């Protein structure tokens, strides 16, 4: 079970999460008011400190290809996580973006609002390497960081039909991740909101204790499923 944790804001935080057993470490390089965003230069420094201790994931809500390429060239992630408006960042545009990028992998966010998510996932799986199934909040730009769950039955259907690795996100916490894994059976699970330590005024840092509990619960659920299938 792959564990992906957002959003890291300092090099020290990144190293601590890697040492705790996080597989994918996510950063939000942005300047538009996204939760936990950092500058491109700060993101670069964080990834440099993490090195090969974890897979480095950088998020973008942009639909301007030149801005995305510029960010990737500075930050140098292993995976580019696209979570902008699917009406603006279409599969055709993602295919165009891939031609402009260095050889990195692309993770596409799928907004699981209703059954349409299944068709959206099918369209994107032709041009990306991973899918991440996430919730959507009207208060936050892009797909994700909503802090609440969506219909896991729809997510399960996407997992069953997809030939790509699928990460489940959207309101996952140490308290509900085991049930999410039981229902959806994803390749990986992602957490942002519910592994944070709030600092007030919308600011936060990662709670290492909450992250450790999340990892333990996810791996225990995965092992239970594996034992049941043998």
157-204 tens-digit pLDDT: 999 999 999 999 999 999 999 999 999 999 999 999 999 999 988 899
Taking the C-alpha atoms of residue 227 and residue 230, their distance in angstroms, rounded to an integer, is 5
Res 220: pLDDT: 98
From the list 190, 194, 142, the residue with the least C-alpha distance to 166 is 190
Task: Establish how many alpha carbons lie within 13 A of residue 177's alpha carbon, considering only the half-sphere containing its beta carbon.
Answer: 32
- Per-residue pLDDT, averaged over 42-64, amounts to 97
Taking the C-alpha atoms of residue 7 and residue 145, their distance in angstroms, rounded to an integer, is 10
Res 137: pLDDT: 79
Read off the pTM.
Answer: 0.95
Task: Establish how many alpha carbons lie within 13 A of residue 150's alpha carbon, considering only the half-sphere containing its beta carbon.
Answer: 24
pLDDT bracket for residue 25 (50, 70, 90): very high
Taking the C-alpha atoms of residue 128 and residue 108, their distance in angstroms, rounded to an integer, is 7
pLDDT bracket for residue 139 (50, 70, 90): confident
CATH number for the segment(s) 2-228: 3.20.20.70
Taking CA atoms, 69 is separated from 57, 61, 107, 138, 153, in Å, by: 14, 13, 15, 26, 35
Taking the C-alpha atoms of residue 162 and residue 132, their distance in angstroms, rounded to an integer, is 11
Taking the C-alpha atoms of residue 179 and residue 182, their distance in angstroms, rounded to an integer, is 5
Task: Give alpha helix (H) positions in 63-207.
Answer: 65-75, 91-100, 116-124, 152-161, 177-184
Taking the C-alpha atoms of residue 209 and residue 228, their distance in angstroms, rounded to an integer, is 29
pLDDT bracket for residue 143 (50, 70, 90): confident
């Amino acid at each position: 079970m792959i564990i992906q944790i957002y959003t890291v804001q300092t090099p020290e935080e990144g190293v601590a999460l890697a040492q705790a057993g996080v597989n994918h470490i996510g950063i939000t390089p942005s300047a538009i008011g996204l939760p936990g965003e950092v500058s491109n230069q700060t993101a670069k420094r964080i990834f440099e400190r993490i090195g090969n201790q974890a897979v480095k994931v950088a998020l973008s809500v942009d639909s301007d290809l030149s801005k995305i390429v510029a960010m990737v060239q500075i930050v140098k992630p292993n995976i580019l996580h696209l979570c902008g408006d699917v009406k603006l960042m279409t599969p055709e545009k993602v295919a165009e973006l891939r031609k402009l990028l260095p050889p990195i992998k692309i993770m596409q966010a799928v907004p699981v609002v209703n059954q349409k998510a299944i068709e959206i996932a099918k369209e994107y799986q032709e041009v990306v390497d991973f899918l991440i199934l996430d919730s959507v909040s009207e208060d936050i730009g892009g797909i994700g960081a909503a802090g609440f769950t969506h219909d896991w039955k729809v997510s399960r259907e996407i997992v069953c039909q997809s030939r790509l690795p699928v990460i489940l996100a959207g309101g996952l916490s140490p308290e509900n991740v085991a049930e999410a894994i039981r229902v959806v059976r994803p390749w990986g699970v992602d957490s942002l909101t519910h592994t944070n330590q709030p600092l007030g005024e919308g600011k936060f840092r990662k709670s290492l204790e909450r992250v450790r509990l999340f990892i333990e619960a996810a791996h225990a659920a995965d092992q239970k499923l594996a034992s049941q299938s043998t």
